[in-house]
Each structure stands twice: as structure tokens, then as C-alpha cells.
Amino acid sequence: MRKIKTYPSRLLLAKVGLDGHDRGIKIVARALRDAGVEVVYLGLHNTPEEIVLSAIQEDVEAIGLSILSAAHLHLFEEVMDLLKKHKAQDIAVFGGGIMPAEDIERLASLGVRALFTPGTPVEEIVRFVKGGFRAHAKR
């Protein structure tokens, strides 16, 4: 009997903006791949437009953004606006990086499903993805 997957099978991970620190996102990408999730990794220095158009072209279920450069509010908001502009709001957005609690609240109000701060166990991110991107408690 064929086993039916109950979790998303394809997502896009990207570094947005000028942030060049990619060790964390590579660890997350590897953990998700090891857990059976297909990951499209765009690499460093992507614009919000490149990320959204790639997500649409690659037909992913979610976008995971990583940013450590303090431009998270602007860049996440731009990604959310572009998804709306391209009528692709069904693509879930989550991310990780260094963000103050009040910014996490603001991003959640924009529809960002979860934000993972440094020190989050990778298993928690895998559970979030395999759980279907359900809203996540703020860290």
C-alpha cells in the first residue's frame, strides 16, 4: 500500500537582501531534505521580486527566508506584497533571523506564518514544515 504524504513536498529557501551569512539556511535546507522535503535553494543576495517569481515558477508551497541584516521588516513586507500582486497568496511564508519581538508581531500581522530566531532547534523547523505551515508560537 502506498503511503500518502501529509506534509508539503516542495519549498523555496532564499537569503533576501545583502545579507551574506548563509550557514544557518544551509543547515535548515539539509535538515528538510533529510526529512523528505524537496528544497529549492536560491542562494545569497536575492531580491524580493526574484524570490517571488522563482517561487511561482518552481510551483512551491512555501517560501522560507533567512535574514540577519536588520532589513527584515521591509524585505518580508515586500515579499508579501509581491505575492499578493501576483495572486500567489497561497504560498506560505516563514523565515528566520535576528528580530526583536515587536518586529515578529508586525510580520505575523502581515501573514508571515512563523519566524525562527537563532538557537531554534532545526527539528522545530522541520516539524513546522511537515505540519503544513500552521501558525507557530513566537520565539
3-class secondary structure, 5: coil
Q: Which residues contact 57 (CB under 8 A, 6 or more apart)?
A: none
Domain boundaries in the chain?
Answer: 10-130
Integer Cα distance of 120 and 104 in angstroms: 15
pLDDT tens for 99-112 read: 998 999 999 999 99
C-alpha cell at 26: 544551509
pLDDT tier, 4 (very low <50, low <70, confident <90, very high otherwise): low
pLDDT tier, 90 (very low <50, low <70, confident <90, very high otherwise): very high
Q: Which pLDDT value is given to residue 48?
A: 97
C-alpha cell at 46: 536575492
pLDDT of 1 above 80: no
As a whole number, mean pLDDT of residues 58-69 equals 94
pTM: 0.89
Q: Which of 32-36, 65-69, 125-129 has the lowest mean pLDDT?
A: 65-69
Answer for the pair 96, 25: CB distance below 8 angstroms, yes or no: yes
As a whole number, mean pLDDT of residues 94-98 equals 93
Q: What is the DSSP string of 17-38?
A: TT----HHHHHHHHHHHHTT-E
- CATH class held by domain 10-130: alpha beta
Q: Which pLDDT value is given to residue 63?
A: 98
